[in-house]
Amino acid sequence: EAGVAQSPRYKIIEKRQSVAFWCNPISGHATLYWYQQILGQGPKLLIQFQNNGVVDDSQLPKDRFSAERLKGVDSTLKIQPAKLEDSAVYLCASRRPAGTGYTGANEKLFFGSGTQLSVL
């Protein structure tokens, strides 16, 4: 099966500019996650979608970050304006939700290759 697609692979911007990342999950995966991974740290959950609805965005800095998944398939994550501390790898992951007839709670995450963002 095709994997999770992300683009761009790399992005370099100056602080206060805006940037957008795109993710296309595995077909049929209802749950989509955006994680931020700063060098030397574990991935931090920014936002979780179930179909086109937001399940959790408690860690999303909403004054500058926004995300959408309008048709319940692909998703975009935007930063506006960017700060130096936003330099990180942005990982998109998808997963089948619990209770779909699979072993829901133990379903694994499928990650894209990530977007490495450098803010100068």
Partner 1 sequence: RKEVEQDPGPFNVPEGATVAFNCTYSNSASQSFFWYRQDCRKEPKLLMSVYSSGNEDGRFTAQLNRASQYISLLIRDSKLSDSATYLCVVNLYTDKLIFGTGTRLQVFP
Per the CB < 8 A criterion, the answer to whether 36 and 44 are in contact is yes
CA dihedral 76, 82, 84, 87 (to 10 degrees): 10
Per the CB < 8 A criterion, the answer to whether 21 and 29 are in contact is no
Q: Which of 44, 51, 83, 84 binds partner 1 (CB under 8 A)?
A: 44
Asked if 31 interacts with partner 1 (CB under 8 A), we say yes
Closest CA to 109 of 2, 4, 7: 4
Round to whole Å and give the CA distance between 33 and 79.
16
What character string, x for contact with partner 1 (CB under 8 A) and - otherwise, covers 67-96? ------------------------x---x-
Q: Which of 11, 24, 75, 112 binds partner 1 (CB under 8 A)?
A: 112
Half-sphere exposure of 28 (CA within 13 A, CB side): 6
Asked if 25 interacts with partner 1 (CB under 8 A), we say no
Binding segment for partner 1 (CB under 8 A), chosen from 11-19, 21-29, 45-53, 71-79, is 45-53
Residues that bind partner 1 (CB under 8 A): 31, 33, 35, 40-45, 48, 50, 55-56, 91, 95, 97-98, 104-106, 108-109, 111-114
